[in-house]
Structure 1
Amino acid sequence: MPLSIDPEFVAGLESLLPVLGDPVTFPPGDVLSRRANVNRRWALAMETWPVIDDVEHSIHTSRSSIDGAEIATHRYVKAGSSPSKSAVVYTHGGGYFCLNVPLYHNVLQTYVSQSGVQFFAVEYRFAPEHPFPTPVEDSYSGLLWVNQHASAFGIDPTRIAIMGDSAGGGVAAGVAIMARDRELSPPLAKQLIIGGMIDDRNVSRWEALTPFATWAPDDNLTGWWTYIGRDKAGKDDVSPYAAASRVESVQGLAPLYLDVPGLDIFRDENIRYAQRFAAADIATELHLYPSLPHSFEAFTPQIQAAKVAMANRVRAIQLL
């Protein structure tokens, strides 16, 4: 049976199409054109999100361990209530080369409003200006900063999770591996990976997906080439901190929550990653959302599948 797309997603997207414009393709390696296009389309999509008025936002500063640079860490906390004892450190998506925390403002506020758990979003630097290992090192430094300042924010340091989507999911997975290898104390409570970009060896064209892809194979190649280098992507010596699927063993890693859409070129690499955790007897929760493309919930938060996905994530966050 041929692939098909969720009709509710199609209907939900129709109202955005006049604003988003026709899809534009760029040759592999054209990172700056992609950055401008993705940032523009994401910002337009975020304008359609429901307004959240019960979340407070502040900006703090940590320092990257790689070069001492100041890194903004955005705190989101539900207003009118005591801060949660648990916390999530978030790394935004963007193919390792675009988007930023302000463009994720509505998404992060929604998680906090619905869960009651405070979030810390790290404004990590990204490629091509700052290729690997800067993004993951910046993000790990942000996690360390939250860990070290836990008491100031009323956080139980045993209840801190790392979370990210798309390339941010890749960064989050890399941070989780770093936390294990560098013996973070207390260890991470959980990692939440949302449609993670975690395997540089993913070069499949998956032609049947072409009509539905919101993140296409050429986009994926561009992201990996930009992040780790065109001469390294797909080779044998890529660090698992860059591409988490490369990790030799998942033993000792934090419990995993993972979800991925069925029409996402990251589907198979994410499922394989979750299977490794389950096989290692690490607490694992996996959700597959059929007939939906990458980042479907960002563009159509009003559809039932997006509400279910958000509810599943919120529940996983609340269990910290």
Structure 2
Amino acid sequence: MALDPKARGLLDMVQRVGVPRFHELDVSQARRASEKLLFAFRPDAPPVASVTEVPIGRRDGSVLMARLYRPLQAKSGQVLPLLVFYHGGGWCVGDVPSYDVVCRELANEAGCAVLSVEYRLAPEHPFPAAFDDALLAPDWAIDHADLLEVDPDRVALGGDSAGGNLLLGVALAWRDRAGVPPLRYLAAIYPCTEIHSTRPSRETYADGYFLDRATLQWFFERYLPNGESEDWRASPMRASSLAGLPPMTLVTAGCDPLTDDCLAFAERAQAEGVTVRHHAYDGMVHGFFTLGGYFPQANVAVAQVAADLAEALSLT
């Protein structure tokens, strides 16, 4: 598939100025580089009704931080549906501030509260720390629905890339729990569905398409230092069954090494009875969804995901 001209322009610019790739940096440098990219190419931040920092207590006494957005149109005291959102970044980079704009957009356009989760990052906190935090967030939010003014029966999960990986793992774990309200919907944006794959897109887009083979390996080695790649919490495609997952939206980028893995996951999920809405963005590269200040397609994709969420989380 040919790159979109805007995507080619971005890659050419990166090459022209000699920006090093993630695997050529140490962790702190990679985090700064990720932050700079997202801040440089994201849209202007739209106003919302409120933004609140939310501390979530872990069992060991430490605190998982999250940020709660209420949409601009929300009235005081109004009970809203909730999207729990997990940012991308290969489980090693990315943070809540870098995803501030996209969470504001989703809140306003979907008409829901958004809880953006600052899960622990590798290599300081390798697998399963991020998964454990990702599972804790909706559990805590439902237990404290009155405090957050959200409806525990209308909760969705969303995230991109590594965040999409986390939401699929959490959804599988949630499906098998007793005594919890079922999740209403999933919004997975080019998720990593399995660590090791030999599908064609892994090779076709292995170099020169933003997320390259060496960077993927850099992420995997830091997130999974003990080689847990076959654990379904790290590779949701390895789960014994996908049946019973909530309906989901899947966004893919045409020139992304993860695309064929995403499509294989969707095909299997549908074969096992899961409803999947697939929105394909031809010519786009991995990571485009958060770069709406540069890619018009990103703004279309955000609006489409928000529309799917609004429909799924409605009272009817």
Fold match, TM over 0.5?
yes
Kindly provide the CA deviation profile for residues 127-159 of structure 1, in whole angstroms up to 9, marking residues without a partner as x: 100011111111111111111111333322111
SS at match of 2:150: coil
Q: Are 2:249 and 1:249 equivalent residues in the alignment?
A: no
- Tell me what 1:85 maps to: 80
SS at match of 2:260: helix
How far the C-alpha of 1:109 sits from its partner, in A, is 0.9
- Tell me what 2:62 maps to: 69
Contact 1:140 1:175 in 2 (8 A): yes
How many positions carry a matched residue from both structures? 309
Where do 5+ consecutive residues of structure 2 fail to align?
A: none
The CA RMSD measured in Å over matched residues stands at: 2.6
| Change in 2 beyond 3 A, CA 1:26/1:304 | closer
Which region of structure 1 is more displaced relative to structure 2, 169-178 or 291-300?
291-300
Percent identity, aligned pairs only, is 26
Contact 1:256 1:274 in 2 (8 A): no
Q: In structure 2, which of residues 242, 253, 260 is the aligned counterpart of residue 261 of structure 1?
A: 253
Kindly provide the CA deviation profile for residues 152-207 of structure 1, in whole angstroms up to 9, marking residues without a partner as x: 33322111011110111111111111111233610111111101122111367845
- Tell me what 1:162 maps to: 157
- Tell me what 1:58 maps to: 52
Q: Are 2:308 and 1:316 equivalent residues in the alignment?
A: yes
C-alpha separation between the residues in 2 aligned to 1:29 and 1:50? 29
Q: In structure 2, which of residues 221, 224, 230 is the aligned counterpart of residue 225 of structure 1?
A: 221
Kindly provide the CA deviation profile for residues 26-65 of structure 1, in whole angstroms up to 9, marking residues without a partner as x: 557954443332233223223xx12312342001111234
Contact 1:215 1:294 in 2 (8 A): yes
| Change in 2 beyond 3 A, CA 1:317/1:184 | farther
SS at match of 1:156: strand
- Tell me what 1:171 maps to: 166
TM-score by length of 2: 0.88
Where do 5+ consecutive residues of structure 1 fail to align?
A: none
- Tell me what 2:276 maps to: 284
Matches within 5 A, 1:1-320: 3-10=1-8, 13=10, 17=13, 21-25=17-21, 27=23, 31-46=27-42, 49-65=43-59, 67-82=60-75, 83=78, 85-183=80-178, 185-202=180-197, 206=202, 208-209=204-205, 212-229=208-225, 232=227, 234=229, 238-301=230-293, 303-319=295-311, 320=313
TM-score by length of 1: 0.87
How far the C-alpha of 1:106 sits from its partner, in A, is 1.1
C-alpha separation between the residues in 2 aligned to 1:84 and 1:24? 46
Kindly provide the CA deviation profile for residues 279-304 of structure 1, in whole angstroms up to 9, marking residues without a partner as x: 11222111221111011232344544
SS at match of 1:187: coil
| Change in 2 beyond 3 A, CA 1:269/1:62 | same
Kindly provide the CA deviation profile for residues 268-320 of structure 1, in whole angstroms up to 9, marking residues without a partner as x: 11111111121112221112211110112323445442232122101111021
Which region of structure 1 is more displaced relative to structure 2, 30-39 or 178-187?
30-39
| Change in 2 beyond 3 A, CA 1:178/1:151 | same
Which region of structure 1 is more displaced relative to structure 2, 123-132 or 28-37?
28-37
How far the C-alpha of 1:262 sits from its partner, in A, is 0.8
SS at match of 1:159: strand
| Change in 2 beyond 3 A, CA 1:252/1:101 | same
C-alpha separation between the residues in 2 aligned to 1:39 and 1:202? 28
Which residue type is aligned with residue 265 of structure 2?
Y
SS at match of 2:95: coil
C-alpha separation between the residues in 2 aligned to 1:164 and 1:35? 18
| Change in 2 beyond 3 A, CA 1:203/1:27 | farther
